[in-house]
Amino acid sequence: MAGKVAIVTGGSRGIGRTIVQTLAAEGAKVHFFYRSEADAAREVVDAVSAAGGQATAWMVDVTDSQACQQAVEQIADQSERIDVLVNNAGIVRDNLLAAMEDEEITSVLQTNLFSVFHVTRAVVPFMMSQRSGQIVNLSSVAATKGGRGQANYAASKGAVEAVTRALAVELAPRKIRVNAVAPGVIETAMSQQVRDLAGDEVKSRILLKRYGQPEEIAQAVTFLASDLASYITGQVLYVDGGFKMA
Ligand code: NDP
């Protein structure tokens, strides 16, 4: 990763934060987007810097296509290249379908799916002219398993997997690889409610009988973004302790 320039969306907390720190520890110059938590973003920049790495925080709402375009252009102007894109930003708004409000449907699709279009569309021209690039999208075990109250979320992640395969086909001639990582239940703020409500029941259905840690996702993302994965494209790597199989 030394000398590589990476963009990570949703890098201020949770899995995204750990991806930023892992890529930076491997030598990448990391630019990350966050929505609102400026203090959390500053903490990430400081933590990376204290570890001898480089990270820059950008307040960019990934649901805003113009803001994504402008930020990516500024990063490309400054850095003169973009090697890695990790589409990580995501939200949940769980509810049973009969009670699900329009906002709960649109906000999840806009944040989890439309963002992938917004940021990837802005980044791809730079990768195409370099004739190299690595894109890693964050899916979820919900894409294949579904989940009670998760019709909106499962739809967004199923679509992210479909976009991953379509872009792998489209961008392979320009030597751009596109893959996804699908986490199981990972210990972050996002999964807190699920873990609180259905803790032992969910854990008993995971083959490895434990939740995952953000580091375990960040390592998989870093692998797919690295030259170690130079012959892998169009794949979804499930990092879920065997939850999908159970
Ligand atoms: P968290 O809720 O811990 O963090 C979400 C991050 O996304 C924050 O940095 C947040 O920024 C950012 N974000 C949210 N909305 C926007 C937006 N509109 N624009 C810019 N940034 C935004 O989530 P996780 O770390 O747990 O999840 C990361 C990814 O992994 C998601 O795609 C999620 O769907 C996926 N995943 C997570 C699982 C889990 O168990 N945790 C399981 C399966 C998949 P801010 O703080 O500023 O709002």
Between these two residues, 201 and 11, which has the higher pLDDT value? 11
Nearest CA to ligand 1 atom 19: 61
Question: Can you tell me the mean pLDDT for 87-101?
Answer: 98
Judge whether residue 42 has pLDDT over 90: yes
- Contact predicate 194/185, CB 8 Å: yes
What's the pTM? 0.98
pLDDT tens, residue by residue, 194-238: 888 887 889 999 999 999 999 999 999 999 999 999 999 999 999
Decide whether any atom of ligand 1 lies within 6 Å of the 87 Cβ.
Answer: no
Nearest CA to ligand 1 atom 6: 10
Ligand 1 atom nearest the C-alpha of 37 is 47
153 Cα–ligand 1 center, Å: 12
Separation CA 65–CA 125 (nearest Å): 15
Closest C-alpha to 133, from 177, 78, 168, 163:
177
228 Cα–ligand 1 center, Å: 26
Decide whether any atom of ligand 1 lies within 6 Å of the 185 Cβ.
Answer: yes
Decide whether any atom of ligand 1 lies within 6 Å of the 39 Cβ.
Answer: no
Q: Report the b/e string of 82-99 with b at 16+ CB within 10 A.
A: bbbbbbbbbbbbbeeeee
Question: Can you tell me the mean pLDDT for 141-145?
Answer: 97
CA distances from 143 to 124, 164, 193 (A): 25, 13, 19
Separation CA 76–CA 81 (nearest Å): 5
37 Cα–ligand 1 center, Å: 12
Going from N- to C-terminal start, the domains of the chain cover 5-239
Report the pLDDT value the prediction gives residue 225, as an integer from 0 to 100. Answer: 98
Ligand 1 atom nearest the C-alpha of 139 is 44
Decide whether any atom of ligand 1 lies within 6 Å of the 37 Cβ.
Answer: yes
- For 5-239, the fitting CATH number among 3.40.50.300, 3.10.20.30, 2.30.30.700, 3.40.50.720 is 3.40.50.720
Is residue 193 very low, low, confident or very high in pLDDT (cuts 50, 70, 90)? confident
Q: In the predicted model, what is the mean pLDDT of the chain?
A: 97
Report the pLDDT value the prediction gives residue 194, as an integer from 0 to 100. Answer: 85
Decide whether any atom of ligand 1 lies within 6 Å of the 34 Cβ.
Answer: yes
Report the pLDDT value the prediction gives residue 199, as an integer from 0 to 100. Answer: 72
**Residue 153: active-site member:** yes
pLDDT tens, residue by residue, 46-70: 999 999 999 999 999 999 999 999 9
